[in-house]
């Protein structure tokens, strides 16, 4: 089976060719997969009966916060604008406020449309800006006049599913302490067909620093915005991503909740970011600045921020570790492998772990700073990426750092566990290219339990994790790390076994 690295190399070649001919690379979606996705999305939409029942339930929620939906408007097509407004008006949860901010559109009709809607519906308010404030400035003007306890962002040409607000408020009734709630989303083409559904993970900080996986639809508690600030115009082009990073740095993980349902459709047209980041090249510059600023704020100013060589809009952050370091190699499957490309500042100790006694004894007596668990038979291990793994492992919140699986099947299986099983089944039924792209198997992200592979962890953390376990099993160890409160990191940029 073709592995992920081969796919990446092939796509890298296409990118290089595109640069030569000055054309953006567009990865074509197959007609079959479009039909497949469109059918799946429509089958999982709330039925008419369900929507009617939601209206009754929503009216009886004990907690009914006002949700202000902020929409910066600029020279939008009338049909798109009407559909966007209609998608808000038809929400099954009715305690909403739609805030339309015209950012000095050159088309005078835009303000007429806004004024008409505002005059007809008291829940629609508007503001006309005399000068262009750009996306973040217009959004902030909307937030300032909004009255809601929660603020949600909506693009002027996108569409909400009718149960979007219902699902958010239903979730809030289960847990009123939440401050950030986000949903799954899907793209909408010119023929009103759904494609490229994006099934997201639960809160995943390393993933959020690889790509803006939260995007749409998201609702943020107003009091949090007042505390951390609104959108920052310095990062126009990726202002939402910067805001999500800032918000999540200032709230507890328990205040963040993912709703595993598609409730937002991102319309694709020639000038939308949904079609291609090539439509807005300045976005790439803003993304890099956003991630660098985030690293500095988190006290990681020595971190390296690099754009993925193949996937536009995906980033690779590597953290500079303290050196020198000693690593104990615990071989749990097979014999002692040969070591290649080892950093001179790293000392390696190697042990065969044949039993629970071996594991406990070696772990208790080793003076190594880190343990590299090898649970997959390997004759040779390339240590080129070990320095980066140490940089991840020494972070306080990190448990295990798992390097890339040599098998594409294993990588997809690990990634598929981060989304709901039914969605994973759809994605994995697509082509390998679509599956790996959707599941971001080439991005660094947090995972729960895993089986096999090669993983690094600080020695002190492993001693704590393994105290109550009856056997040194990688799945049990990784699960225990999560239970204690650590976050395991999957880093596909590091390939130790080829």
pLDDT value for 434: 67
Whether the per-residue pLDDT at 14 is higher than 50: the answer is: no
pLDDT value for 436: 63
Rounded to an integer, what distance in angstroms lies between the CA atom of residue 276 and that of residue 273? Answer: 5
pLDDT value for 435: 66
pLDDT value for 361: 93
In the structure encoding, which two tokens stand for residue 299, read together? 């006290």
Q: What is the CA radius of gyration of the chain?
A: 24
Return phi, psi of residue 227, to 5°.
-80, -40
Rounded to an integer, what distance in angstroms lies between the CA atom of residue 395 and that of residue 28? Answer: 39
Produce one character per residue of 345-356: b if its CB has 16 or more CB atoms within 10 Å, e if not: ebeeeebebeee
* Nearest residue to 76 via CA among 271, 278, 218, 264: 271
Rounded to an integer, what distance in angstroms lies between the CA atom of residue 366 and that of residue 358? Answer: 12
On whether the 325-491 domain is CATH 1.25.40, my answer is no
- As a whole number, the mean pLDDT across the chain is 89
Whether the per-residue pLDDT at 444 is higher than 60: the answer is: yes
pLDDT value for 274: 57
Rounded to an integer, what distance in angstroms lies between the CA atom of residue 291 and that of residue 250? Answer: 16
- Please write the tens of the pLDDT for every residue from 23-82: 233 344 578 889 999 999 999 999 999 999 999 999 999 999 999 999 999 999 999 999
Nearest 5 degrees, angle CA 52-CA 56-CA 62? 145
468 pLDDT band (50/70/90 cuts)? confident
Domains 31-297 and 325-491 share a fold: yes
Host H or E run for residue 152 = strand 150-153
7 pLDDT band (50/70/90 cuts)? very low
- Please write the tens of the pLDDT for every residue from 119-163: 999 999 999 999 999 999 999 999 999 999 999 999 999 999 999
Per DSSP bridges, beta strands 180-188 and 256-267 are: parallel
> Distance between the two ends of the chain, CA-based, in angstroms?
13
- Sequence spans of domains, the chain: 31-297, 325-491
% of the chain exceeding 70 in pLDDT: 90
Rounded to an integer, what distance in angstroms lies between the CA atom of residue 244 and that of residue 17? Answer: 35
Rounded to an integer, what distance in angstroms lies between the CA atom of residue 426 and that of residue 417? Answer: 13
451 pLDDT band (50/70/90 cuts)? confident
* Nearest residue to 199 via CA among 253, 263, 133: 263
Whether the per-residue pLDDT at 409 is higher than 80: the answer is: no
Rounded to an integer, what distance in angstroms lies between the CA atom of residue 411 and that of residue 404? Answer: 7
Report how far apart, in Å, the C-alpha atoms of 300 and of each of 320, 382, 445, 447 are: 8, 26, 18, 22
Whether the per-residue pLDDT at 22 is higher than 70: the answer is: no
Global pTM value: 0.91
Rounded to an integer, what distance in angstroms lies between the CA atom of residue 245 and that of residue 203? Answer: 12
Q: Which CATH number fits domain 31-297: 3.20.20.70, 3.90.550.10, 3.40.50.1100, 3.40.50.11540?
A: 3.90.550.10
Report how far apart, in Å, the C-alpha atoms of 342 and of each of 280, 339, 385, 415 are: 41, 7, 9, 29
Read off the pLDDT of each residue in 453-463 and give the average, rounded to a whole number. Answer: 96
Read off the pLDDT of each residue in 461-467 and give the average, rounded to a whole number. Answer: 95
Q: Which of 5-9, 22-26, 305-309 has the highest mean pLDDT?
A: 305-309
Across the strands, what pairs with 318?
304
pLDDT value for 354: 82
Q: Do residues 96 and 165 lie in contact, with contact meaning Cβ atoms separated by under 8 Å? A: yes
* Nearest residue to 296 via CA among 229, 242, 256, 253: 242
* Nearest residue to 329 via CA among 380, 365, 370, 282: 370
DSSP-derived secondary structure letter, 322: P
- Please write the tens of the pLDDT for every residue from 317-373: 999 999 999 999 999 877 889 999 999 999 999 999 988 889 999 999 999 999 999
Whether the per-residue pLDDT at 3 is higher than 80: the answer is: no
- Please write the tens of the pLDDT for every residue from 240-297: 999 999 999 999 999 999 999 999 999 987 766 555 554 468 889 999 999 999 999 9
Return phi, psi of residue 291, to 5°.
-70, -35
């Amino acid at each position: 089976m073709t592995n992920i690295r081969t796919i990446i190399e092939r796509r890298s070649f296409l990118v290089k060719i595109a640069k030569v001919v000055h054309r953006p690379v567009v990865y074509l979606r197959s007609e079959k997969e479009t039909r497949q996705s469109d059918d799946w999305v429509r089958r999982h939409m709330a039925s008419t009966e369900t929507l009617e029942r939601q209206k009754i339930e929503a009216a009886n929620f004990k907690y009914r916060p006002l949700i202000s939906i902020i929409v910066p408007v600029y020279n939008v097509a009338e049909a798109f604008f009407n559909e966007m407004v209609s998608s808000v008006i038809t929400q099954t949860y009715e305690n909403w406020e739609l805030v339309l901010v015209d950012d000095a559109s050159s088309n005078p009709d835009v303000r007429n449309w806004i004024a008409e809607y505002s005059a007809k519906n008291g829940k629609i308010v508007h503001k006309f800006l005399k000068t262009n404030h750009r996306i973040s400035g217009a959004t902030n003007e909307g937030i300032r006049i909004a009255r809601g306890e929660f603020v949600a962002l909506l693009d002027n040409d996108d569409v909400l599913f009718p149960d979007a607000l219902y699902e958010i408020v239903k979730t809030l009734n289960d847990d009123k302490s939440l401050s950030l709630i986000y949903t799954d989303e899907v793209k909408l083409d010119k023929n009103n067909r759904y494609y490229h559904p994006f099934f997201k993970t639960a809160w995943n900080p390393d993933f959020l620093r690889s790509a803006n996986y939260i995007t749409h639809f998201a609702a943020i508690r107003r009091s949090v915005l007042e505390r951390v600030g609104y959108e920052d115009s310095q990062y126009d082009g990726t202002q939402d991503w910067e805001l999500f990073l800032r918000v999540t740095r200032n709230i507890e993980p328990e205040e963040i909740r993912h709703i595993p349902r598609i409730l937002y459709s991102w319309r694709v047209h020639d000038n939308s970011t949904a079609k291609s980041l090539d439509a807005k090249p300045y976005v790439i510059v803003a993304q890099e600045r956003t991630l660098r600023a985030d690293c500095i704020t988190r006290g990681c100013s020595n971190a390296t921020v690099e754009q993925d060589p193949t996937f536009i809009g995906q980033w690779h952050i590597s953290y500079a570790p303290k050196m020198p370091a000693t690593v104990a190699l615990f071989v749990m499957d097979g014999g002692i492998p040969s070591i290649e490309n080892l950093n001179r500042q790293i000392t390696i100790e190697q042990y065969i772990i044949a039993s629970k006694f071996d594991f406990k004894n070696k772990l208790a007596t080793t003076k190594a700073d880190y343990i590299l668990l090898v649970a997959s038979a390997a004759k040779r291990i390339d240590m080129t990426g070990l320095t980066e793994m140490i940089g991840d492992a020494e972070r306080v919140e990190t448990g295990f750092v798992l390097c890339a699986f040599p098998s594409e099947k294993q990588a997809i299986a690990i990634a598929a566990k981060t989304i709901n099983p039914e969605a994973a089944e759809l994605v994995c039924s697509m082509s390998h290219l679509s599956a790996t792209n959707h599941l971001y198997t080439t991005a660094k992200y947090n995972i729960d339990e895993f089986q096999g592979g090669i993983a690094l962890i600080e020695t002190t953390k492993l001693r704590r994790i393994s105290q109550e376990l009856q056997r040194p099993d990688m799945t049990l160890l990784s699960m225990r790390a999560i239970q204690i409160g650590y976050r395991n990191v999957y880093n596909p940029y590091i390939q130790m076994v080829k």
